[in-house]
Structure 1
Amino acid sequence: MIDGKVVSLRERSVVEKSFGELLHFESDLAGHRPPILLVAPLSGMRAEILYDMILGLLPRHDVHCLAWKDAADVPLSDGAFGLEDNITYVVEMIRYLGAGAHVIGLCQSALPALAAAAILAEDPGRPATLTLLGGKLDTRINPTRLDRLTRSLPPAWFETCSISTVPASRRGHNRRVYPGSTELMMLSTYLFRHCASGGELLAKFFHDDGSDAAGHPFAKLFFSIDDVPAEFFLDTVAQLFHRAALAEGQLAWQGTIVDPERVTETALLTIEGEADDISGPGQTHVAHDLCVGIPAERRGHFLCPHTGHLGLFFGSRWRQQVLPHISRFIWDNAH
């Protein structure tokens, strides 16, 4: 239901890649709607968790979502997939949508989204705006429990203890992955901690505030998981948590250092949750310190009060507080 009318939506895959695909949410809505590239996080949690976010964006925006495939179903012959490949996919999807697209990155995908904007900074097809929500750009800032734990363990530990091989029963047999079973255990621990402390997840599980709680219940979305390519997982541990490569000016893409200072024409909006215990407040806002070339009038920041990580893109706070900021920023900076 949009503006009191039933609108038919069609989810169509418009670009197919080995490790991901670009989904277009087509509709019969009339009038111009700015094109959005929503980059799903490659975190083990499936892109379906973004259902509420996509539904909120659709009335005023033409939504595309870069969604990732389960690495356990990607044949070993398709090669490896690391952080650099992750960034490449985002660059390719921005180029596919063309000049004037509006990119949204959240949680893990904030870093490749910012890197892609920097890579395309002087390209005619650069994005018009870049919105980053609850993104992990520099985990040294206001570190969370996860940040401290990850940095306390050497990268070699993750290679030994967090990686497994896909069994012969799956298409990706013999591929090395960070398994969904481990992510499921991490999510269960996270949920237990929220239940014990009365955190945000407790309310979402017992009072689902999504726009379609019956058809797309939060609990099912939260526990929908995939295997993640081992190369990407280990790259992220090393480059983000241990080296702070982007923030330190050491992140390379195709042999060239990714330099956010080159971004001058793309408007930047950062949004953080005051109670975010996944990406601590400040870890996303640091994008403004990195993108010093963007004029002040084309920047924005919003710290959403009393909001945790999931509330930034799912539920009533997303729809009532976060969404209006994003939509207004995109329309104000649309070409």
Structure 2
Amino acid sequence: MLYQAYQLQSDLMSPLRLMAQSLGASLWFKDTENSPVRKIAAACDVFSRLRLTHSRPGYGITSVKVGQVDVDVTEEVTLTLPFGSLLHFKRTADAVDIEGQPPVLLVAPLSGHFATLLRETLRTLLQDHDVYITDWHNARDVPLTEGGFALDDYAEHMIRFIETIGPGTHVVAVCQPCVAALAAAAIMAEDDNPCQPRSLTLMAGPVDCRINPTGVNTLAVSKPIEWFEKNLITHVPLPHKGFMRRVYPGFIQLSAFLSMNPARHKAQFKDMYKYLLEGDIEKADTIRNFYDEYLAVNDLPAEFYLETVAKVFQTYDLPRGVLTYKDRIVNPAAIRRTALMTVEGERDDICSVGQTMAAQDLASSVRPSQRTHHIQTGVGHYGVFSGKKWNQQIYPRVRDMIYANQL
């Protein structure tokens, strides 16, 4: 009944938000500075933004600077599977040589938001690489006839994507998919797959959550897995294509995120109202754009969510050597030809220092010359893959590692 109640509330509020949006837009044309009209228009604008959406926002990347040249970028779907697509951001240029730049698969989390959260990471990588991204679908839009989607399926999708890109692919995994990325690389190595990654970069991911547990880790072990299934899993209601599919709704995860710092989010909307009153549209748009992305939620398949909580956060299957892929034990020591880089943030309160670096011990057969670890000072979780320090200090190291292992 949880999802049905949410859907009913959303349906009831939708006409009010549409009215506020329409009224606000019309009032701006009659606005004078500091007038009551502007106050009403600003209030309508803020109110219309206080809603969740369930469709992926656009990436909005139409060009990227390569060296000093602006290069056109076209978004292409290379492979479509029921629960995710492989997107290629194809660059075309005459004035600069981009041929031969290494292909990179950017693996996005499937964790309540869409892959567009990695827009900045993607844009930065496009400067020097031929970039693809895992674009995970909203589970509430996947019909039941497509079957389930568990941790095995996630790794299998990753292998399919890498094989589609072809030999010489480099993989960059951010946060949650680090476990599945390491597992996929291990399986491909054990099978002597010709498309096994040339390099694997794991960024701020929960490889071994026994190390320096965070509040997120403590919460995950505070209840048995049955509690998560009973209290957080629900069925998709009508009229969605995934009617009756069991999911962990994105709105529940977002509610948890918002509750961690409600004062900050409240202050942000107050600031947006203030900037609209002052006519500072640029600052207001910065907040608008952030929340348009942040409030776009993605439902997770129940099987995937529950297995991730159980195997990654509760029983630590990968570091204990008992994680399986289609009834095969995952053996990271099988990785020999894939260079490994791990990146962590000094102030990360989601995946603390040491949790990602654990991959270095697990992949024990990787030669020392092909290992890299970097701890970035002064950044939290999101600062590992976005922001000034990502662009200026972390990315150059990732780029140099990829190019060093290109041949």
TM, length-normalised to structure 1: 0.92
For 2:355, the aligned partner's letter is Q
Hey, what does 2:404 align to over in structure 1? 332
Residue aligned with 1:15, SS: strand
- CA-to-partner distance for each residue in 1:210-253, whole Å, 9 max, x for gaps? xxx85993333233211000000001111111110011111111
Residue of 10, 15, 22 corresponding to 2:86: 22
1:182 to partner: Cα distance: 0.2
Q: Which protein shows a greater Rg?
A: 2
For 1:323, the aligned partner's letter is Y
Q: Counterparts of 1:88-237 in structure 2 under 5 Å? A: 88-121=156-189, 122-192=192-262, 217-237=289-309
Are 1:69 and 2:137 counterparts?
Answer: yes
Hey, what does 1:243 align to over in structure 2? 315
Give the conservation status (yes or no) of the 8 Å contact 1:311–1:318.
yes
Distance 1:194 1:215 in 2: 12
Distance 1:237 1:79 in 2: 20
Hey, what does 1:38 align to over in structure 2? 106
Give the conservation status (yes or no) of the 8 Å contact 1:166–1:175.
yes
Hey, what does 1:271 align to over in structure 2? 343
Give the conservation status (yes or no) of the 8 Å contact 1:71–1:228.
yes
Distance 1:259 1:240 in 2: 15
Residue aligned with 2:112, SS: coil
Give the conservation status (yes or no) of the 8 Å contact 2:110–2:176.
yes
Distance 1:333 1:227 in 2: 37
1:195–1:172 CA distance, 2 compared to 1 (3 A): closer
For 1:289, the aligned partner's letter is D
Residue aligned with 2:364, SS: coil
Choose 26-35 or 317-326, whichever is displaced more.
26-35
For 1:126, the aligned partner's letter is Q
Are 1:306 and 2:378 counterparts?
Answer: yes
Give the conservation status (yes or no) of the 8 Å contact 1:187–1:223.
no
Distance 1:75 1:15 in 2: 19
Hey, what does 1:254 align to over in structure 2? 326
1:303–1:99 CA distance, 2 compared to 1 (3 A): same
Of Structure 1 and Structure 2, which has the larger fraction of its residues in helix?
2
Residue aligned with 1:130, SS: strand
1:315–1:220 CA distance, 2 compared to 1 (3 A): farther
For 1:14, the aligned partner's letter is T
Residue of 392, 395, 399 corresponding to 1:320: 392
- CA-to-partner distance for each residue in 1:31-80, whole Å, 9 max, x for gaps? 32100011111111110110000100001000000110000000011000
1:216–1:266 CA distance, 2 compared to 1 (3 A): farther
Distance 2:376 2:143 in 1: 42
Distance 2:295 2:140 in 1: 17
Gaps of 5+ in 2: 1-63, 267-284
Taking only the aligned residue pairs, the percentage that are identical comes to: 39
Distance 1:183 1:136 in 2: 18
Distance 1:191 1:46 in 2: 21
Give the conservation status (yes or no) of the 8 Å contact 2:236–2:246.
yes
For 1:10, the aligned partner's letter is T
Are 1:13 and 2:70 counterparts?
Answer: no
1:189 to partner: Cα distance: 2.0
1:5 to partner: Cα distance: 3.0
Residue aligned with 2:176, SS: helix
1:303–1:195 CA distance, 2 compared to 1 (3 A): farther
Residue aligned with 2:360, SS: helix
- CA-to-partner distance for each residue in 1:109-159, whole Å, 9 max, x for gaps? 101110010001122221100000000111111111010011111000001
For 1:71, the aligned partner's letter is A
TM, length-normalised to structure 2: 0.76
For 1:22, the aligned partner's letter is L
Give the conservation status (yes or no) of the 8 Å contact 2:258–2:265.
no
Give the conservation status (yes or no) of the 8 Å contact 1:240–1:246.
yes
Hey, what does 2:13 align to over in structure 1? none
Residue aligned with 2:373, SS: strand
For 1:89, the aligned partner's letter is H
Distance 2:233 2:264 in 1: 27
Q: How many residues align?
A: 321
